[in-house]
Structure 1
Amino acid sequence: MKGTFTMKTGRGIAILLAAAATVPLVLAGADRPSIAAVPASHADEASTVRRITEPQYRRAITDIFGADIKVVGRFEPDLRVDGLLAVGTSAVSITSGGLEQYETIARNIAEQVVAPDHRASLIGCTPAAADPAGSACAGQVFDRLGLRMLRRPLAPAERAALVATTLESARALGDFHAGLAAALTGLLTSPDFLFRIDRPGAPEQGRRMVDGWSKASRLSFFLWNAPPDEMLLAAAAKGELDRPEARARLVATMIASPRFADGVRAFFSDFLHLDDIDLLAKDARIYPAFSSAVAADAREQTLRTITDLLVDRQGDYRDLFTTRRIAMNRTLGPLYDVPVAERGWTFHQFPDGDPRAGLFTQISFLAQHSHPGRTSPTLRGKAIQEILLCETIPAPPANVNFAVVQDVDNPTLKTTRARLQAHLDDEECASCHKLTDPMGLALEKFDGAGQFRTTEHGEAIDTTGSFADTHFDGAAALGRLFQRNPQPIDCLVQSTWRYAMGRRLAAFDKPVVARLNADFAGTGYRMVDLIRAIALSPQFYEYEPASPPARMAGWPALATKGAM
Structure 2
Amino acid sequence: MIASQQHRLFRFHMTALSLLSGICCLIFSQTVYAAAPKPLTGEQIYRKMCVECHATNGQGVTDKANPFHGMKTLVELTTLIDETMPEEDPELCQGDDAKRAAQYVFDRFYAKHVAAADKSARVQLSHLTVRQYLFTTSDLLSHFLGNAKVTSKERGLNAEYYDSRSMRRDKRVVKRIDPVVNFQFGNKKPDEKITNAEEFSMKWEGSVLAEETGDYEFILKTENGARLWVNQKDPIIDEWVSSQGRAKEHKATIRLLGGKPYTIRLHVFKYKEKSSSVVLEWKPPHKAQEVIPQRNLTPQQVPGTFITSTVFPPDDSVSGYERGTAVSKSWDEATTSAAIEIMTDVIKHLDRLAGTKPDAKDRKEKIQKFCHRFAELAFRRPLTDEQKAFFVDQHFKQEAAVELAVKRVVLLVLKSPRFLYTDREYPALDDYAIASRLSYGLWDSMPDRQLFDTAKAGKLKTPAQIAQQADRMLRDPRAQSKLRYFFHHWLQLDEKEELAKDKALFPEFDELVVSDLRTSLDLFIDDVVWNKSSDYRQLLLADYVYLNPRLAKVYDVKISEGPEFQKVSLDKDKRAGVITHPYMMANFAYHNLSSPIHRGVFVTRRLLGRTLKPPPQATEFKDGDFKPGMTTREKVALITKPSACMSCHSIINPLGFSLEHFDAIGRYREQEVKKAINASAELTSVSGETVKFNGARDLATHIATDHHAHAAFVDQLFHQAVKQPINAYGKNIREELTTKFEKSDYNIQQLLIEIMKVAALHQPHS
Q: TM-score, normalised by structure 1?
A: 0.73
Partner in structure 2 of residue 412 of structure 1: 628
The equivalent of 2:368 in structure 1 is: 139
Cα drift, residue 429 of structure 1:
1.4
Quick check: 1:187 aligned with 2:406? no
Greater strand share, structure number: 2
Equivalent-residue separation in structure 1 for 2:334 and 2:509 (angstroms) = 33
**Structure 2 vs 1, CA of residues 98 and 301 (structure 1 numbering), >3 Å: closer, same or farther?**
farther
CA distance in 2, matches of 1:408, 1:195: 54
Shift of 1:162: 3.9
CA RMSD of superposed structures (Å): 3.5
Q: Which residue in the other structure is 2:389 paired with?
A: 160
Residues 33-83 of structure 1, C-alpha deviations (whole Å, 9 max, x = no match): xxxxxxxxxxxxx96423333433333233232443233243322333443
* 1:426–1:474 Cα change, 3 Å: same
> What SS is found at the alignment partner of 2:681?
strand
Aligned ranges for residues 262-277 of structure 1 at < 5 Å? Answer: 262-276=481-495
Task: Determine which of 643, 655, 661 is the counterpart of 1:427.
Answer: 643
Measured after TM superposition, the shift of residue 275 of structure 1 is: 4.1
Q: CA 1:247–1:217 in structure 2 vs 1: closer, same or farther (change >3 Å)?
A: same
* AA of the residue aligned to 2:445: A
Give the superposition deviation at 1:299: 4.4
Between the aligned partners of 2:488 and 2:378, the Cα distance in structure 1 is 25
Alignment of 1:277-426 (within 5 A): 279-283=497-501, 285=503, 289-290=508-509, 298-329=517-548, 332-338=551-557, 341-353=561-573, 355-371=574-590, 374-397=593-616, 399-402=617-620, 405-408=621-624, 410-412=626-628, 414-426=630-642
What is the DSSP-based 3-state SS (H/G/I as helix, E as strand, rest coil) of the residue aligned with 2:658?
helix
1:450 maps to 666
Q: Which runs of 5+ in 1 are unaligned?
A: 1-45, 203-209, 547-564
One-letter amino acid matched to 2:711? D
**What secondary structure does 1:301 align onto?**
helix
1:94 equivalent in alignment to 2:327:
yes
User: Does 2:652 match 1:436?
Assistant: yes
1:68–1:401 Cα change, 3 Å: closer
Runs of 5+ consecutive residues of structure 2 not aligned to the other structure? 1-121, 143-303
Q: Percent identity among equivalent residues?
A: 25
Distance in 1 of aligned mates of 2:464 and 2:750:
17
Change (3 A) 1:130 1:492: same
Q: Deviations along 1:301-355, whole A, 9 cap, x unmatched?
A: 33432232232231431221110233344665455444574344442222444x2
Look up the match of 1:125: 356
CA shift, 1:288, in A, is 5.0
1:492 is aligned to: 713
Tell me how far apart the structure 2 counterparts of residues 465 and 198 of structure 1 sit (CA, whole Å). Answer: 50
Displacement of 1:523 in angstroms is 2.1
Q: Where does residue 63 of structure 1 map in the other structure?
A: 139
1:192 counterpart letter in structure 2: R
- Matching residue of 1:200: 426
The CA deviation at 1:183 is: 4.0
**SS in structure 1 at match of 2:333:** helix
Distance 2:397 2:565 in 1: 53
One-letter code aligned to 1:69: F
Give the CA deviation at 1:289: 4.7
- Give the letter aligned to residue 125 of structure 1: T
User: Contact between 1:114 and 1:122, CA under 8 Å: does it hold in 2?
Assistant: no
Matched with 1:18 is none
C-alpha separation between the residues in 2 aligned to 1:318 and 1:194? 38
- Alignment correspondent of 1:49: 125
TM-score by length of 2: 0.56
Quote the offset at 1:384 in angstroms. 0.9
Q: 2:419 is paired with a residue of what secondary structure? A: helix
Report the CA distance between 1:434 and its aligned residue: 1.4
Structure of higher CA gyration radius: 2
Could you tell me which residue of structure 1 aligns to residue 341 of structure 2? 108
Q: What CA distance in whole angstroms lies between the structure 1 residues aligned with 2:618 and 2:735?
A: 40
Distance 2:309 2:507 in 1: 32
3-state DSSP of counterpart to 2:730: helix
Q: How many Å apart are 1:142 and its aligned residue? A: 1.8
Alignment partners' CA distance in 2, 1:155 and 1:297: 53
Length, aligned pairs only: 477
Residues 360-386 of structure 1: per-residue CA shift (max 9 Å, x gap): 112443233334554322121111111
2:315 is aligned with 1:78: yes
| Gap change, CA 1:335 and 1:409, over 3 Å in 2 | farther
SS at match of 1:318: helix
How far, CA to CA, are the matches of 1:112 and 1:331 in structure 2? 44
2: CA distance, partners of 1:532 / 1:127: 46
Secondary structure, counterpart of 2:545 in structure 1? strand
